[in-house]
Amino acid sequence: MNNSVKQITKKKIIFIGAGNLATCLSLAWQKKGISIYQVFSRTEKSARELATKLNCSWTTNILEIKDDADLYVFSVKDSVLKDLLETMPPNNGIWVHTAGSMSISVFPDSHSSCGVFYPLQTFSKDRPVDFTDIPIFLEARNADVYALLEDIAKQLSNNVIRASSLQRQYLHIAAVFACNFTNHMYAIAENILSAHKLDFKSLIPLIQETAQKTISLHPIDAQTGPAVRYDENVINKHLDFLSDTPTLQTLYKELSNSIHKYAVNTHLQENEPNKL
């Protein structure tokens, strides 16, 4: 272990929040020999559960958060972050949050040692995650803070990237499409199958290949299906079959239109030189 790693593993880290991201991130650091100093959560059960896993102390009282830590990781819902920061007693540690959609300016101006630590992944408490390839997007109010965040991020990931608050906002929106909305497509598919006594498991190879194909090719080149060339034959048949679920029917129509628009635009761009 070299000196800088030794220094990092001696840092005292407190987690403010004990949700999905806080759980996965703190456990990942612990695995790398960086022990967690304390956990705060307003929910006693969550605080106790995470602290037990981390073998550290916990509190539900914001005034009992220890004031001698090096790093305070605020990993709470966007809607409570601002209020929480306003009641947080001042200290000399570095404060970071982990929210894609919150600007760095949410921190009080008086606190210059602050930044953002945003790992782009979907987290669940009970699903341990390997951080090696997960991109971690960093932002900081000054170079010293950035350097420390970079050191501690690189303990986990080979993919540490600087991003502004504005870029992170778009990263978060893109992640909503690539993860949350994608998962909803799976949920709709499952719903359609179970209504017709078919097994969701039948879709597993398709789901895996769709993800792999978009990664190997490119989402535009990987696009297949009736909407690409707007095959009205198939599309109208599908819309008929969805007529008893009007919400799904509308979604189907709009997504097909959107796919077709993308395909036409790409095609136009590709043919541009020939047109001139």
Maximum CA extent, the chain: 70
Is 17 or 93 the residue whose CB approaches a second copy more closely? 17
- Other CB atoms within a 10 A radius of the CB of residue 29 amount to 24
**Options 147, 206, 264, 268; binder of a second copy; rule CB under 8 A:** 206
Helices (H), 72-159: 78-87, 143-154
**Options 42, 49, 214, 230; binder of a second copy; rule CB under 8 A:** 214
Is 142 or 212 the residue whose CB approaches a second copy more closely? 212
Applying CB under 8 A, the site for a second copy has a residue count of: 91
- Listed in sequence order, the residues at least 6 apart from 171 whose beta carbon sits closer than 8 Å to its beta carbon are 100, 118, 120, 137, 163
d(CA 269, CA 264): 9
Smallest CA-to-CA distance from 178 within 135, 145, 144 is with: 135
* Piece of the chain touching a second copy by CB under 8 A; list 27-35, 54-62, 139-147, 158-166: 158-166
Is 154 or 213 the residue whose CB approaches a second copy more closely? 213
Site membership for a second copy, residue 198 (CB under 8 A): yes
Region 38-67 residues binding a second copy, contact defined as CB under 8 A: none
**Structural contact between residues 88 and 110, judged by C-beta atoms closer than 8 angstroms:** no
**Options 147, 234, 264, 268; binder of a second copy; rule CB under 8 A:** 234
* Piece of the chain touching a second copy by CB under 8 A; list 25-33, 46-54, 114-122, 139-147: 114-122
CA angle 194, 205, 132 (to 5 degrees): 115
* Piece of the chain touching a second copy by CB under 8 A; list 8-16, 42-50, 88-96, 202-210: 202-210
Q: Closest distance between a second copy and the C-beta of residue 229, in Å?
A: 9
**Options 33, 90, 108, 225; binder of a second copy; rule CB under 8 A:** 225
Q: Tokens 């800088």 appear where? A: 4
The token pair at 27 is: 């456990």
Site membership for a second copy, residue 268 (CB under 8 A): no
Is 93 or 100 the residue whose CB approaches a second copy more closely? 100
Q: Closest distance between a second copy and the C-beta of residue 99, in Å?
A: 9
Rg of the chain over CA atoms, in angstroms? 23
- Classify strands 160-162 and 136-140 as parallel, antiparallel or unpaired: parallel
- Going by the DSSP 8-state scheme, the letter that residue 90 receives in this structure is P
Region 73-112 residues binding a second copy, contact defined as CB under 8 A: 77-79, 101
**Options 10, 45, 218, 267; binder of a second copy; rule CB under 8 A:** 218
Q: Tokens 């097994």 appear where? A: 199
